[in-house]
């Protein structure tokens, strides 16, 4: 495994200039495009890291899996009346589809879907913003995980489209809280900073039947871990989810900070960071790395 990861890393080390770093807020636009890191954690406890793997980056939409996982044990199947579980085939911040579908987002991993999940969490969990950090820290096995205030503030002040999504859902009755409060919490989630090393560890419970391997805690039931993985496979990369499944063959989730995390149930989790994005908002080099990883190791879910 170590040799293969190293050879993939060396192969792509100079692949810069193939995409575009997210530029909708200054703190993301200023991230050097050549950052590159790969981290793997196996459920047996092996760890492999290469590149800028201790450096933290904005996890952005990867947080959508963590909020869904946090909510899952608190709700029953009625949650699926408020948010769907089908691929969207649309960009992550599309308003058009939401209007057509009467304020019910296609899935929890597009922005509208994640806003609904956050709305529910704020109703159910006192001190939710604090509790989310505690939740992520326990999965990561690290206290050193925080919101980045500069990122959160920039997201908040520039996020007119996201606010529009929330208001549209409110007009259809699919949103209970105050838009400003829910959106602030959403911006905090996006601003969480982690290294690939922390991120791979955090997602290992989804490769381990919902159990945090660090403390044996059942984070989500096996049934929910199976379902969350299915949603990552079908919806984790927005309108590029089919292509990701085709090329990589792992359930995973991307963020516009250039991170991707993916799992092979029963085996491992892998996190890659490379900030240059393609037109769908997914890391170009991250996808290429993962495609080679599954092919060369012969371990995709297919
Ligand atoms: N903060 C970004 C947004 O809300 C997150 C999008 C993403 O990572 N795809 O638009």
The 10s digit of each residue's pLDDT in 109-166 is: 999 999 999 999 999 999 999 999 999 999 999 999 999 999 999 999 999 999 999 9
Q: Reduced to 3 DSSP states, what percent helix, strand and coil does the chain have, rounded to the nearest 5?
A: 50, 15, 35
pLDDT-derived band of residue 264, with 50, 70 and 90 as boundaries?
A: very high
Ligand 1 atom closest to Cα of residue 256:
8
CA distances from 163 to 88, 95, 188 (A): 19, 11, 14
If one counts every other C-beta atom within 10 angstroms of the C-beta of residue 29, the result is 13
Which residue of 22, 63, 111 sits with most ligand 1 atoms within 8 Å of its CB, as the best mutation to test the pocket? Answer: 111
Alpha helical stretches, state H, 172-265: 179-191, 196-202, 222-235, 241-247
- What is the distance in A from the centroid of ligand 1 to the CA of 8? 28
Cβ–ligand 1 contact at 190 (below 6 Å): yes
Ligand 1 atom closest to Cα of residue 62:
8
Query: Which residues belong to the active site?
Result: 61, 64, 186, 238, 256
Collect all residues with Cβ–Cβ distance below 8 Å to 169 and sequence separation of at least 6: 98, 103, 105, 112, 115, 116, 175
Query: Over the stretch 158-208, which tens digit does the pLDDT of each residue have?
Result: 999 999 999 999 999 999 999 999 999 999 999 999 999 999 999 999 999
For the chain, strand residue ranges (E) read: 20-21, 37-42, 47-51, 57-58, 193-194, 252-254, 259-264, 268-273, 276-277
Which residue of 64, 255, 259 sits with most ligand 1 atoms within 8 Å of its CB, as the best mutation to test the pocket? Answer: 255
Do 231 and 108 touch, CB atoms closer than 8 A?
yes
Closest by alpha carbon to 271, among 210, 205, 199, 204?
199
Q: What pLDDT is recorded for position 41?
A: 98
Q: State the burial class of residue 111 (Cβ atoms within 10 Å of its Cβ: 0-12, 13-18, 19+).
A: buried
Provide the percentage of residues in the chain whose pLDDT is more than 90. 99
Cβ–ligand 1 contact at 111 (below 6 Å): yes
- What is the distance in A from the centroid of ligand 1 to the CA of 4? 31
Q: How far is CA 158 from the centre of its chain?
A: 21
Q: What pLDDT is recorded for position 252?
A: 98
- What is the distance in A from the centroid of ligand 1 to the CA of 284? 16
Cβ–ligand 1 contact at 255 (below 6 Å): yes
Q: What pLDDT is recorded for position 154?
A: 98
How many CA atoms within 13 Å lie on the side-chain side of 76? 1
Q: What pLDDT is recorded for position 226?
A: 97
**Phi/psi of residue 87, nearest 5 degrees:** -60, 145
How many CA atoms within 13 Å lie on the side-chain side of 158? 12
Average pLDDT of the residues in 288-292 = 98
Cβ–ligand 1 contact at 164 (below 6 Å): no
Q: What pLDDT is recorded for position 173?
A: 98
Ligand 1 atom closest to Cα of residue 187:
1
Mean pLDDT in the chain?
A: 97
Q: How far is CA 242 from the centre of its chain?
A: 17
Closest by alpha carbon to 56, among 203, 204, 271?
271
Query: Over the stretch 12-68, which tens digit does the pLDDT of each residue have?
Result: 999 999 999 999 999 999 999 999 999 999 999 999 999 999 999 999 999 999 999
Both tokens assigned to 217 = 């805690």
Which residue of 64, 107, 155, 193 sits with most ligand 1 atoms within 8 Å of its CB, as the best mutation to test the pocket? Answer: 155
Query: Over the stretch 208-250, which tens digit does the pLDDT of each residue have?
Result: 999 999 999 999 999 999 999 999 999 999 999 999 999 999 9
Average pLDDT of the residues in 278-293 = 98
Q: What pLDDT is recorded for position 29?
A: 98
Average pLDDT of the residues in 271-296 = 98
Q: What pLDDT is recorded for position 183?
A: 98
């Amino acid at each position: 495994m170590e040799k293969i990861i190293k050879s993939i890393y060396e192969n792509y080390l100079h692949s810069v200039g193939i995409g575009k770093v997210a530029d909708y807020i200054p703190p993301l636009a200023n991230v050097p495009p050549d950052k590159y890191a790969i981290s793997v954690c196996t459920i047996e406890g092996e760890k492999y890291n290469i590149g800028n793997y201790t450096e933290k980056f904005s996890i952005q939409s990867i947080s959508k899996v963590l909020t869904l996982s946090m909510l899952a044990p608190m709700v029953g199947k009625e949650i699926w009346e408020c948010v769907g579980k089908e691929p969207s085939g649309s960009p992550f911040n599309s308003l058009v589809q939401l209007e057509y579908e009467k304020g019910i987002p296609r899935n929890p991993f597009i922005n509208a879907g994640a806003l609904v999940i956050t709305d529910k969490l704020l109703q159910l969990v006192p001190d939710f913003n604090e509790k989310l950090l505690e939740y992520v820290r326990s999965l990561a096995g690290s206290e050193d995980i925080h919101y980045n205030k500069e990122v959160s503030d920039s997201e908040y002040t520039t996020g007119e489209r996201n606010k529009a999504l929330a208001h549209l859902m409110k007009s259809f009755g699919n949103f209970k809280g105050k838009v400003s409060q829910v959106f602030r919490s959403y911006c905090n989630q996006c601003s969480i900073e982690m290294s690939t090393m922390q991120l791979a560890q955090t997602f290992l419970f989804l490769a381990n039947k919902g159990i945090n391997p660090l403390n044996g805690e059942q984070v989500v039931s096996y049934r929910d871990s199976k379902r969350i993985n299915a949603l990552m496979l079908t919806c984790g990369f927005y309108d590029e989810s089919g292509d990701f499944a085709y090329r990589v063959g792992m359930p995973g989730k991307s963020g516009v900070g250039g991170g991707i995390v993916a799992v092979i149930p029963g085996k491992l989790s892998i996190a890659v960071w490379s900030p240059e994005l393609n037109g769908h908002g997914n890391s170009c080099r991250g996808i290429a790395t993962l495609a080679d990883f599954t092919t060369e190791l012969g371990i995709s879910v297919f």
